[in-house]
Amino acid sequence: MQNLHNLLNKEQFLSVTRQKGTSLIIAGAGSGKTRVITYKIAYLIEKGVAPHKILAVTFTNKAAREMGQRVTELIGRMKDPPMISTFHSLGLYILKTEIQKLGYGRKFSIYDDKDCQKLLKDIIYELKLPEDLYDVYEISFKISLMKMNLKTEVLDENLKKIYVKYEEYLKLHNAVDFDDLIKLPLELFDSFPEVLQKYQKKWEYILIDEYQDASFMQYQFIKKIAMSHKNLSVVGDDDQSIYSWRGANSNIFTMLERDFDPVYEVRLEQNYRSTTTILEAANSIIKNNSSRKEKKLWTDRGVGDKIGFYEAENEEEEAAFIRDQTIRYINEGYKYKDIGILFRMNSQSRPIEESFREYDIPYKVVGSRKFFDRPEIRDALSYLRFLANTDDEVALHRIINNPKRGIGNTTIQALMEFSKEYKCPIFASIKTFIENNTLGNKTTPYLEDFVKLIEKYREMVFKPKNIAKTLNKLIEEIDYQSKLLMEVKNLKKVVQRMNNINQLVQSISRYEFNPDNFDPNLFEYLQRVTLMQKDDDDNDKDNQVNMMSIHSSKGLEFKIVFIAGVEEGLIPHAKSAEENGNEEEERRLFYVAVTRAREKLFLSYPKTRVKFYETLHKTSSPFMKEIPENLIVKLGDANDDDSADENIFSNLLKRLNKKNEASAVAPS
C-alpha cells in the first residue's frame, strides 16, 4: 500500500491509523467515509492482523460489495478475507450454525415483508378482528419497531394477541422475519454465553459504516460482540440520521461514548463532492438543530453556481420547469443519469413523470416494483420455498391452488385450522387429511396429486446443481403459462411474465455454476434472494434521469439535483409538527437532499396544489429562510428563458426527425 499521507487528508489519516480501542468517526456528507473504512481494513492487515479476524458491517449489499472490491484493489485477493456484510447477513451467518439451540429447524425460511403481512392477515381473520380497524401494513410496522427496539409492551390488548400469535406461528412454520435475524442472535448470546464467546474470539476488529442508521437492537448486537476487546470503529454522521420511523436510534452516539469509554473521536469535515455554495447552504440549514455534534463542511472545489429557486403557480408548472431545465442541461452536454429529482412523497412524481413522458425524456423512479416483487416470480419462489421447507405455511397458501387444482378456500382454511389447533406442520396435516379422507372423495384426490407433485420435485431439487432444472420442469408440469393466459388474457403480457420466470431460472443456474459458490444449495439460494430484496439498492446503470424520494437518495450523488415541493407541509412534513423532535429529523432530511448535489442545485414548489379535488394554497418551506439570500437566485416562469425555449424546440425537432427516420425505413 502506498504512503497513506499522500492518499488521505489529516483527519482521514488519524482515523485509519488508530489501531486499538474504540473510535467514533463523525463523517460529514461527501467526506470520504468509505475510503476511511476500506483503508483502515487494509492498514490493519498490513500491520499483521489476520484478515479473517476483521468484521465490517454496513446496511446494503451494494455498499458491502463495493467495500469488498475496494479492499481487494488495495491489498489483492486473500485466501481467508475479512467478513464484509450487512447486519442481516451477519445475523443469518450466525443463525445458520446456531438456530437449532433456540428450537428451530436448521432448514428455516426467511419471510419477507409480504409474507409477514399475509401471516398477519390470517391471524386477524383467526382472531375475528375487524380488518378495517387492523391494517396489516401498520401492524407489521409496529411489530417491527417493537422488535428493533427490544420493547414488548403494547398498549392495545388485541395488538398484543396478534403479536403473540405472530411469533408463535413463525416458529411453527420454522420461519423467521428480517428483524429476527438480529433479535434471535441476541437471544442466543444471552442464553448461551459460549456462543457469544465464540464470535467474540472470531472477530477481534469490528468496523461499522453508516452508524447513524443503526437501531437500538443492532447496536446491542455489535456491542455484545465487541465488548470483550473494544476494538470498534464506527463511521457515521448524526446530521444524516433520517430513519427513526424504521427504528434508527439517534441516541446510539451517546450510548457508544457511555458503554465504550474512552472513545477516540475525529471529525471528517472536508467535502469532496459539492461546491462551496451548496455546502454553505447545507451548513446554514443544519446548524439550526440543537441535538447534534458540531461540524462545518468545507471544500476546495470552488464556489460554483448559485442555488436556483423557482415558485410555480401549480404542480404542472413546477414539473414543466424541471423538465425544461433538464432539456437545457442535456443539450449542454450533461447525461440523463447526471440528474436527480428528489421529493418528500412518492406521489409527487406523477406530474413530473407525465411531463417527461410527453417530451420522451428517459427516466426511472427508484423504488418502483422490483423484479422479485412481481407475482409470477413470487409464485415460482414460493414453490421453491415449500420444496425447501414443508412447514412454510405462507408459501403453501400461495401455491396449493396455484394454478387452480380443485383445492378451494374452505379446504385451505380447514387445513390451516387443523395445523394450528394441533400444532402440526402443514404438510403433515395434508397427509393426515388424505389418510383419514377428512374432506371426502371429491377433494382428497386433489390433495393426493399435490402431495405427489411436491414429493417428486423435493426428490429432484436436492440433487447437486439441479435447482434451475427442477424449477423449469415444475413450471412446465403445472402448465403455468396456461394459467397466465386464463388470468391475464393478454398474450404480450403473458410472454413478458414467462420471460421473467426464464430470467429467474437463468439466474439460479448462474448461482449454481458459479465457481465462487462453495456449496450451492436451495436453502442458501432462497436466503440469499430474500436478503437481497431487503438490503439491496436499486442499481440500474442505464442513462436515465433518476426520480426518487429523499430517503431513497441517501448515499447517492448527482451533478444536478432538483428538490421538488420545498413547501410547508412537505418539507418539513405536516406530521412533524405533531411529533416532538421530528422537526429536527425533517431538517436533517432536507440537509441530506441538499448535499446530494455536486454542481447545481434547484429548489422549487407550487403555490397551489390540488388534493382530493380541493385547491390548497402553499407557501415555501420555513427551511428556505435558513439559507442565506446571497446563495440563492430566484428564477422566473418556465417560459421566460429564451434559451430554454430554444432547447425545447431543438428537442422537439430531434424527436420529429427520429420519427421521420423510423417511418422512412419501416416496411410499407
Same domain, 563 and 634: yes
The stretch 423-432 carries a mean pLDDT of 91
Q: Is the pLDDT of residue 273 over 70?
A: yes
**Residue 286 covered by a domain:** no
* Confidence bin at 358 (pLDDT 50/70/90): confident
Secondary structure letter of residue 362 according to DSSP: -
Q: Cα–Cα distance between 363 and 357 in angstroms, integer? A: 9
Same domain, 413 and 264: no
Q: Is the pLDDT of residue 164 over 60?
A: yes
Q: Which three cell numbers stand for residue 477?
A: 408440469
Catalytic residue flag (residue 596):
yes
Q: Give the global pTM.
A: 0.81
Q: Cα–Cα distance between 535 and 15 in angstroms, integer? A: 27
% of the chain residues with pLDDT over 70:
91
Exactly one of 22, 33, 98, 598 is catalytic; which is it? 33
Q: Which three cell numbers stand for residue 214?
A: 443503526
Give the β-pairing of 608-611 and 614-617: antiparallel
Structural contact between residues 339 and 547, judged by C-beta atoms closer than 8 angstroms? no
Same domain, 497 and 557: no
| pLDDT, position 637 | 47
The stretch 143-164 carries a mean pLDDT of 77
Catalytic residue flag (residue 338):
no
* The last residue of a domain, from among 268, 289, 322: 268
Q: Which three cell numbers stand for residue 306?
A: 448559485
Catalytic residue flag (residue 209):
yes
| pLDDT, position 277 | 98
Determine the 3-state secondary structure of 463 from DSSP.
Answer: coil
Same domain, 194 and 241: yes
381's CB contacts (< 8 A; 6+ apart) are: 372, 504, 526, 529
Q: Is the pLDDT of residue 648 over 60?
A: no
% of the chain residues with pLDDT over 90:
66
Q: Is the pLDDT of residue 657 over 70?
A: no
Q: Which three cell numbers stand for residue 525?
A: 439460494
Q: Cα–Cα distance between 30 and 595 in angstroms, integer? A: 8
Same domain, 312 and 342: yes
Catalytic residue flag (residue 210):
yes
Of the two residues 507 and 168, the one the predictor is more confident about is 168
Q: Which range among 40-44, 69-73, 522-526, 531-535 shows the weakest confidence by mean pLDDT?
A: 531-535
Q: What would you report as the CA-atom Rg of the chain, rounded to the nearest whole angstrom?
A: 27
Q: Is the pLDDT of residue 643 over 50?
A: no
Strand ranges, E, within 318-384: 339-343, 363-365
With b meaning 16 or more CB within 10 Å and e meaning fewer, what string describes 615-643? eeebebbebbeebeeebbeebeebeebee
**Residue 469 covered by a domain:** yes
* Confidence bin at 2 (pLDDT 50/70/90): low
CATH of the domain at 336: 3.40.50.300
**Residue 252 covered by a domain:** yes
Exactly one of 98, 179, 209, 376 is catalytic; which is it? 209
* Confidence bin at 282 (pLDDT 50/70/90): very high
Exactly one of 40, 223, 596, 600 is catalytic; which is it? 596
| pLDDT, position 537 | 53
The stretch 344-367 carries a mean pLDDT of 88
**Residue 288 covered by a domain:** no
**Residue 335 covered by a domain:** yes
Structural contact between residues 388 and 107, judged by C-beta atoms closer than 8 angstroms? yes
Determine the 3-state secondary structure of 565 from DSSP.
Answer: coil
Note the Cα 504 to chain centre separation in Å.
20
Catalytic residue flag (residue 379):
no
Closest CA to 177 of 129, 217, 135, 226: 217
Q: Which three cell numbers stand for residue 124?
A: 386477524
Q: 400-406 long-range CB contacts below 8 Å, 24 or more apart? A: 400/450, 402/483, 403/478, 403/479, 403/480, 403/482, 403/483, 404/483, 405/446, 405/449, 405/450, 406/443, 406/446
Q: Cα–Cα distance between 532 and 61 in angstroms, integer? A: 7
| pLDDT, position 153 | 58
Of the two residues 244 and 83, the one the predictor is more confident about is 83
**Residue 289 covered by a domain:** no
52's CB contacts (< 8 A; 6+ apart) are: 80, 81, 82, 83
Exactly one of 11, 12, 22, 34 is catalytic; which is it? 34
| pLDDT, position 667 | 43
The stretch 352-370 carries a mean pLDDT of 84
Same domain, 235 and 360: no
Same domain, 137 and 243: no
Exactly one of 86, 220, 240, 299 is catalytic; which is it? 240
Same domain, 73 and 124: no
pLDDT per residue as tens digits for the range 494-553:
888 998 898 899 889 988 988 878 888 999 999 888 887 666 555 455 799 999 999 999
Q: Cα–Cα distance between 347 and 15 in angstroms, integer? A: 42
Q: Which range among 96-110, 322-336, 490-504, 566-580 shows the weakest confidence by mean pLDDT?
A: 566-580
Q: Is the pLDDT of residue 481 over 80?
A: yes
Q: Which range among 150-159, 260-269, 361-370, 480-489 shows the weakest confidence by mean pLDDT?
A: 150-159
Mean pLDDT of the residues in the chain: 89
* The last residue of a domain, from among 534, 565, 596: 534
Q: Is the pLDDT of residue 37 over 60?
A: yes
| pLDDT, position 640 | 46
Same domain, 115 and 33: no
| pLDDT, position 224 | 97
| pLDDT, position 612 | 63
Phi, then psi, of 85 in degrees rounded to 5:
-150, 160
CATH of the domain at 140: 1.10.10
Same domain, 218 and 250: yes
| pLDDT, position 47 | 94
Q: Is the pLDDT of residue 556 over 90?
A: yes
Same domain, 324 and 404: no
User: What is the residue range of 610's domain?
Assistant: 298-368+540-641
Q: Is the pLDDT of residue 425 over 80?
A: yes
* Confidence bin at 291 (pLDDT 50/70/90): confident
Exactly one of 122, 179, 210, 238 is catalytic; which is it? 210
Q: Cα–Cα distance between 173 and 169 in angstroms, integer? A: 6
Same domain, 47 and 151: no
**Residue 264 covered by a domain:** yes
Report how many domains make up the chain. Answer: 4
**Residue 667 covered by a domain:** no
Instruction: Tell me: cis bond preceding 262? Omega within 30 of 0 counts.
Output: yes
Catalytic residue flag (residue 33):
yes
Q: Which helix (H) or strand (E) is 264 found in, with range?
A: strand 263-268
pLDDT per residue as tens digits for the range 596-607:
999 999 999 999
The stretch 312-319 carries a mean pLDDT of 94
* The last residue of a domain, from among 141, 173, 205: 173
Q: Which three cell numbers stand for residue 132?
A: 378495517
For 145, 219, 250, 572, the CA distances from 582, given in Å and listed in that order, are 17, 22, 12, 9
Q: Is the pLDDT of residue 365 over 80?
A: yes
